[in-house]
Amino acid sequence: MSGQFEPLPGGGAAVALDDVEISIIRSLAVQLLELIGPGPAEDASDDPLAELFAEGPSEPPSDPVLRRLFPDAYGDPQGTPQAREAEEQREYSAEFRRYTENDLRAGKREGALAVIRALDGVTSASAGGAVLKLSADESRQWLGTLNDLRLAIGSRLDIADEDDTDLLYRLPDDDPRKPMVMAYLWLGGLQESLVATLLP
């Protein structure tokens, strides 16, 4: 089972992780939390209706990783739009971002925290490694966070398409990107095996 999620009877998934693997995932999840930023301030309104209509940012993040995690909602998939269309797309994207990004950030923050809590639970249970068991709901949270981690690493590695991934396999061992590449590929295998456990 090592390194691959397997389905549990009645739903959910399990994976055997050693201490190094636990440490890597936990560290990446903590870095993701730091990148996403803190939740609402302590002086935020306790009114759920006000919170529901609280406005977020309207501009895309400046960090390329955050732009990958929180992309513009509107864009022309066929290429560069005309100037007027581009301006309309920017306006639509700004409006969409204003009312959705806070919730998206909260969801990603919640997923990363769930991963950290699950890993903290297994590290205290045994030395040298452990079998992590997730419910179906926890598996979906993990899937989202594994995807976010891969998007973040992929952005730092400038991976835009499948051809870029193929080039990573051929990096020499002394390339400084190699550890990040290995983490990216390993997380991809974890993600793929977790997806398989969630299929009917």
In a domain, 135, yes or no: yes
pLDDT digits (tens, 9 = 90+) for 19-64: 999 999 999 999 999 999 886 554 455 666 555 556 777 777 888 9
In a domain, 81, yes or no: yes
Q: Within 10 Å of residue 68's Cβ, how many Cβ atoms?
A: 16
pLDDT digits (tens, 9 = 90+) for 27-36: 999 999 999 9
Cβ atoms of 119 and 131 closer than 8 Å: no
Structural domain span for residue 48: 6-198
* The two three-digit tokens of residue 161, written as one number: 């398409």
The amino acid sitting at 99 is Y
In a domain, 141, yes or no: yes
CA distances from 179 to 106, 169, 186, 194 (A): 29, 12, 10, 22
pLDDT band at 1 (very low <50, low <70, confident <90, very high): very low
In a domain, 1, yes or no: no
In a domain, 44, yes or no: yes
* Domains held by the chain: number: 1
pLDDT digits (tens, 9 = 90+) for 108-162: 999 999 999 999 988 555 566 789 999 999 999 999 999 999 999 999 998 877 7
Residue 158 to residue 184: CA distance in whole angstroms:
12
- Span 174-189, average pLDDT: 91
pLDDT (0 to 100) of residue 199: 86
* The two three-digit tokens of residue 94, written as one number: 């700004």
Residue 138 to residue 143: CA distance in whole angstroms:
9
pLDDT band at 77 (very low <50, low <70, confident <90, very high): very low
